[in-house]
Each structure stands twice: as structure tokens, then as C-alpha cells.
Amino acid sequence: MRASHADRERTIDVLKAGFVEGRLSKTEYEQRLARAQQAQTYGELHALIADLPQGPMAVPAPAPQQYPQPYQPVVPRTFLPPPPQTNSSATAALICGILTPLYGITAIPAVILGHKARAEIRRTGEKGDGLAVAGLVLGWLAIGFGVLLVLAVIVATV
């Protein structure tokens, strides 16, 4: 069933109380808060606050157990967004940059893939900016050394 604005506000209040009480870290609070603002159904809202106390309620005392049970989280972490993946163009840029000393022609694809990867990373928020920059640096260095080598040959023959 679809949730109303009032339901979202109540969920946000429970999240705020959990954060103030120290039950949620700042990053977890921010992630849950963003998900609460985007939630469409009661089920999505309930999943965000199921592991937090939601006000004064009668809670029965837990029955004593003879053997300790392995830890099982109360709420699956399905409400959190998946971790960002590494951009494949950034990985390819770094590989081309590393292969440049062996095959000089890979400097050009390293530069192209590095610029493409950085644009995609800015747009999508993926990981791999360092890989893209490393590929760019290696590619541009190889191109620069190649140009210097050609100029040195021209100067030497003239």
C-alpha cells in the first residue's frame, strides 16, 4: 500500500531519534533518510525502522536460551544502496597506460579511455577516478616522449 507524506515524516522522526540516541551512525542515518524520502510503500518505510525502537511499547522479556544463537541481523541491509562499482573504462585506461612501454600505440587508447572514464565517473558516481587519472598520466607521458623523440630525430637529421 502506498505511503503518505505523514508516514514518511513519522519514519524520519524515528530515524532522527535513533541517530540522536546513538543507534545509527551518521552515514547510516543519511542513507536511511534518503531512502525514506524516496519510499513509496509502507513496506519500504517499515524496513528502514524495523530495527529501531518506535516509542513506548510493551515488549515481552526474552526467553532464556540454553545455547547461544549465532548473530543474525534483525533487518536485512536491502534498503541500503549497492556499493558503487569501479568504472570499466578506468580499468581499461590504466591497463593501456601500463602496456605503453611494451606497445607504444596503447598510449592513445589510454588517453581516450581515461577522459571517457572520468566523464562517466562524474555522471554516475562510480569508483575508479584514480585508475583513470593514472591511465591518462601514463598515456600523455608516452605521447610526450614520442613527440620529443620525433623532434630529436628531425633536429639530428637537419
| Res 141: pLDDT | 94
Would you state the pLDDT for residue 75? 56
How far apart (Å, rounded) are the C-alpha atoms in residues 111 and 118? Answer: 11
The pLDDT value recorded for residue 47 is 85
| Angle at alpha carbon of residue 17, lines to 52 and 33, rounded to 5° | 80
Contact 125, 132 (CB under 8 A): no
Q: Compute the Cα dihedral for 15, 17, 18, 20 and give only its sign.
A: positive
Instruction: From first to last of the 158 residues of the chain, give the pLDDT tens digit.
Output: 788 888 888 889 889 988 888 888 999 999 999 998 888 888 888 888 888 877 544 445 555 666 556 655 555 666 666 778 999 999 999 999 999 988 889 999 999 999 999 999 999 989 999 999 999 999 999 999 999 999 999 999 98
Contact status, residue 119 vs residue 87, Cβ threshold 8 Å: no
**pLDDT for res 59:** 46
Residue 103: per-residue pLDDT: 83
- CB proximity list for 140: less than 8 A, separation 6 or greater: 107, 111
Threshold 0.75, pTM exceeds: no
Judge whether 92 and 52 are in contact, CB under 8 Å.
no
